[in-house]
A and B are shown apart, each in its own frame.
Chain A
Amino acid sequence: MLSTFHGLEAARRGMMAQQAALYTTGHNIANANTEGYTRQRVQLRPTPPFPTPGLNRPSIPGQMGTGVEASSVERVREYFLDVQYRGENSKLGYWEARADAVAKMEDIMNEPSDSGLAKTMDQFWQALQDLSTHPENEGARSVVRQRGLAVVETFHYLSNSLTQIRDDIGSQIGVAVTEINSLLNQIRALNERIAEIEPNGYLPNDLYDERDRLIDQLSQFVDIQVEKHPVGGNSLPAAEGTYDVYVLNGNNKVYLVQGRNAASVSFPDGSDVDGDGGKEMPPASGVNALDIGGTTVFFSSLPNGKLRGLIEGYGYQTGTDASGQPIVKGLYPDMLANLDKLAYTFGTLFNAVHQQGYGLNGSTNHLFFAGLGGVNGAAKTITLAADIDDLANIAAATKSGETGNGNNAINLANVRSLLLSNATVSLQDGISVDLASLSLPLSSGTVETNYQGWIGQLGVDGEQANRMKSNSETLRQSVEEKRQSVSSVSLDEEMMNMIKYQHAYNAAARQITVIDEMLDKIINGMGVVGR
């Protein structure tokens, strides 16, 4: 026999379940614009029917439904899309950092334009040509000196600005490492709270969302992998468990977060500027390795991401040279080294020609450029020689005492287009330069073509970075779209649900009214026959 109040209980359960669903709808609407929020759905499930099979079961025609319950509140999310999103996000982080570094370099180099190094060199060359036609003219000499000064200052400006930007990138790396460590800590803390809640049979959906959002953020810096670990206890099957986050170092997993523990990232030979005890600033000599929770990960095996992109701009070590000094490669170190080579080659070669010429006063063996102690830092140290303060010492002539002789000025003007691959170069009026004995750091092309080549390389680097940035942006966007398609809140849908649940709630209430009337009939209307 069924209980008298069976229908009343089923209707009550209906009202309560629809109410729970309606409240979840409210939660979804409220979070429609929350970043990282996943829409939630109440899993409605019929309660176990009556009777359950057994020896004492009542004999009724069939199993009678007992109503509904809200069994769980679950996120609507596809884990596979998260994995895809994070992979693309790492690539985007990497290419964004690289494109940004190249763009800043392009701004500084300012080529092709009327104010870059190439133009300054052109103007210097033109001043020397003018000097060749007016060697006895103080004005022409003064212009040569000023244009020479402009060349020197352009080298200084480029070198200093590039160094400045490189330092900025160093600070960005510091900020990135600090942010990574903060993210790792937050993820660890969330793991901890989730591990405390899940064994009680709850699904901490909003904590899951928060943790996934943090991992999305982390994936921008390094390409990470995530492993799930169930926490046991009375956990529901839909429980996510704790997340272990790791990067691959070759085939080995290096854990950033492992359950309730978080590693911290630092540079073993770096420095600590914010005083928190972690060396988050990379060493000036370039990054060799990272320390992740006590494991050394060499830069060469650091996976994609913004961190790698930044370090590639800043500089990384690729081994040591013959004298045990680290060899530093990278976007900025390379361009700085190139400028040094250019300044050294140009200055040395120019001096070699200048020293063989004669000034207005018949004097010879004067330097034009000074400060060329070595290739390293030449672009910063190159200056005009003190000899040139006396304009008469500019060696325009190929012979002593010939004030109208401008042939050496022509020789000087041709320095920037001398083929550096020749062993010796013969110039006008029997002047020759033994390139082999100068041991120049550049040995092919000309000063001019080498520079053009580097600008071309810079352009190709930038073009690739921009293209890859835009590609990974598109890919990330398409994955993000798929993810949103699954997980984001549709207001129309929530409105539909709201109406749906409202109707169901109302109908359940009406059901109670019907049963109430039935009971009224039994209690007040029965047993009074014939009254």
Chain B
Amino acid sequence: MRITQSMLANNMLKQISRSYENLDKYQTQLSTGKKITRPSDDPVVAMKGIAYRSNLAEVEQFKRNFSEAYNWVENSDSALDKATQALQRIRELTVQASNDTYEETQRQAIAKEVRQLTEHLATIANTKVGDKYIFNGAKTTEPPVTVNPDGTISVSTNSQQLNIELAKGIYIPVNIPPSTAFGAGNGLFSDLQNLAASLENPSTTGNDLTGYLDKLDSHLTNLLGVRAELGARMNRIELMEDRIDSQQVIAEKMLSDNEDVDLEKVITDLKTQESVHRAALAVGARVIQPTLVDFLR
């Protein structure tokens, strides 16, 4: 083929600009750390990229939801632990008082302590975490237990479950409704108030008081049951968190595998391209320069 100077020049220009294009590609890949910058670079990677990012955002959000779930369950458990301790103290006191050798003044003192402990239990029922009453179903801005002007205590019946989504489509209830924790109606509190009243009544016998022990035991069993349930839930949440943790690792790995560059490869490619580029420039400089004109005298 007949080759002319303008062909050499054009060709050289084309090759060098193609070489620059490659250098530009590697530069972009190195500075962004991504294989692609636009969907047309690789449509499949781009499409998957969007899906993986959504997936990762989802997993990260669920992780955030876990701390909220723990917050609820752990606070509920710790409140109910305090309630169990208070109730056990009341039981001990009742056992002491059911001893008929106790004098009236001693029983009065016990009654006072029982009343105090009852109020303590009411405060526990009204536990707030942040702005929320945790034992009042979905009505978290109202206290579940109110002390009426006549001294009686009423417990709300809100039983709406609060669900937190901890995995796609899996909703875990995190709250203990007031009726479950403190007996239906106002069971626990009226029993305790009756106990205190009985202690204050001089005609109460030790046998009468022993009758309360059964009731206290059933409340204690109930509390233990609720706490067992909470423990089981906590267990389930932990298991799910484990799974979400590994899902996050997988999601991040998928995202990375899909669109992150292999640095070693790109740097090697860059170095190769760099030497090709230098060679192209050098050979261009040699070939373009001389013509017959330079040698004709």
Contacts and interface: CB of A to CB of B under 8 A. Distances in A.
Residue among A126, A137, A453 with most chain B CB within 10 A = A126
B183 to A, nearest CB: 22
A484 interface: yes
A402 interface: yes
Contact of B293 (A134, A452, A495): A495
A456 B47 contact: yes
B160 interface: yes
A209 to B, nearest CB: 14
B171 A428 contact: yes
B202 interface: no
Contacts of B281: none
A159 B163 CA distance: 38
A457 B39 CA distance: 9
Contacts of A401: 139
A419 to B, nearest CB: 12
B40 A462 contact: yes
Contacts of B293: 491, 495
A477 B7 CA distance: 11
Contacts of A119: 53, 57
A132 B43 contact: no
A256 interface: no
B61 interface: yes
B32 to A, nearest CB: 10
A456 B162 contact: no
Size category, B interface: 35 or more
A428 B173 CA distance: 13
A122 B171 CA distance: 20
Contact of B165 (A410, A461, A485, A493): A410
Given A33-B6, A459-B40, A118 B50 contact: yes
Contacts of B136: 404
Interface string B43-82: 1101101110110011011001100100000000000000
A465 B43 CA distance: 13
A297 to B, nearest CB: 31
A106 B40 contact: yes
Contacts of B150: none
A515 interface: no
A363 B86 CA distance: 41
A107 to B, nearest CB: 7
Given A403-B141, A410-B165, A129 B61 contact: yes
Contacts of A448: 51, 54
Interface in B103-144: 131-132, 136-142
A488 B164 contact: no
Interface in A431-473: 448, 451-453, 455-463, 465-466
Contact of A462 (B1, B5, B38, B162): B38
A485 B38 contact: no
A405 B160 contact: yes
B282 interface: no
B43 A406 contact: no
Nearest to B72: A133
A490 B51 CA distance: 57
A64 interface: no
Given A402-B137, A461-B40, A495-B293, A484 B7 contact: yes
A481 interface: yes
Nearest to B258: A112
24 contacts: A102-B40, A111-B46, A111-B49, A126-B57, A126-B60, A126-B61, A133-B68, A133-B164, A136-B141, A404-B137, A404-B138, A410-B165, A455-B50, A458-B43, A459-B47, A463-B41, A465-B40, A466-B40, A485-B1, A486-B2, A490-B4, A492-B291, A495-B291, A495-B296
Given A111-B46, A133-B68, A404-B140, 14 more contacts: A32-B5, A112-B50, A122-B54, A125-B58, A130-B64, A133-B164, A402-B139, A403-B138, A403-B139, A413-B165, A459-B43, A481-B11, A488-B7, A495-B292
Interface of B: 1-7, 10-11, 14, 38-44, 46-47, 49-51, 53-54, 57-58, 60-61, 64-65, 68, 131-132, 136-142, 158, 160, 162-165, 171, 259, 291-293, 296
